[in-house]
Amino acid sequence: MSRELVLVILIVLIASLTGASQPSDVDNGYERGKLENGYKVGVWEYFGNGDSVELKINYDKGTLVYLKPDTSKYFVMIDSVWTYKHVNPYPRYLGAYAEFYTILGNNINYPTAARRDQIEGTVFLIFEVNTIGKAVNIAVLNDNGGYFTDEIIDVFNLIPNLWLTASYNGKNVPSKFILPFYFKLTGEKESSAFDITTLSTLEGKKLLEVIVTTPRPK
């Protein structure tokens, strides 16, 4: 399946998520474009830090207009082997990462049982992006006692499952990501140091961590 066809499929899915509304301009600080009858139309821009444009998509043509250059390596599967490679385009959330982290930050909660038992730690969400732009094979690692797994997966599932696929030598290839969650209790007692040594043994493209805090129970 070609990259252009995959992108068209994803754009149709995005349009179906917007719902019906009057024609309007959208400029919320992390994305800019026009909605018409609830659909994204024309060229949309997605921003990173400040006014830096990271992604442009033409929703009328179903094409990728611009992707901010990235010379780093991504963990991708080539000929059935996982390896770090420079890929173009590289895999990423099909939208603004500000939206991605806003959804996580607004919905993640410190699990009641973990707070009660005063459990802290760094837990890793691992997932792959397949060749049609879907996050699959989602797993949670380093969750001793299983306090955080359900909460992490539930909040991750709130994010639209729409990703730009990696391409190597003109062929779409799967990629793998690591999303760390830092759970920390605050209060009078000194918090234990987070053990993040596990991260060095995990293979995948690391995303920015999500920090979740709550007062330590008295």
Rounded CA-CA distance 142/26 in Å is: 40
The answer on pLDDT for 20 being more than 60 is no
Cα–Cα distances (Å) from 63 to 3, 4, 37, 148, in that order, read: 9, 6, 20, 38
Rounded CA-CA distance 90/68 in Å is: 10
pLDDT tens for each residue of 82-101: 999 999 999 999 999 999 99
Rounded CA-CA distance 77/129 in Å is: 10
Cβ distance 129 to 91 under 8 Å? Answer: yes
Q: What is the full DSSP assignment across 18-49? A: H-S---EEEE-SSEEEEEETTEEEEEEEEE-S
DSSP 161: -
Helix axes 149-156 and 97-107, enclosed angle (nearest 10): 140
pLDDT band of 11, cuts 50, 70, 90: low
Task: Please give the model's pTM, rounded to 2 decimal places.
Answer: 0.85
pLDDT tens for each residue of 139-180: 999 998 999 999 999 999 999 999 999 999 999 999 999 999
Instruction: Please give the backbone phi and psi of residue 177, each rounded to the nearest 5 degrees, phi first.
Output: -125, 155
Q: What is the pLDDT of residue 2?
A: 56
Q: What is the pLDDT of residue 201?
A: 81
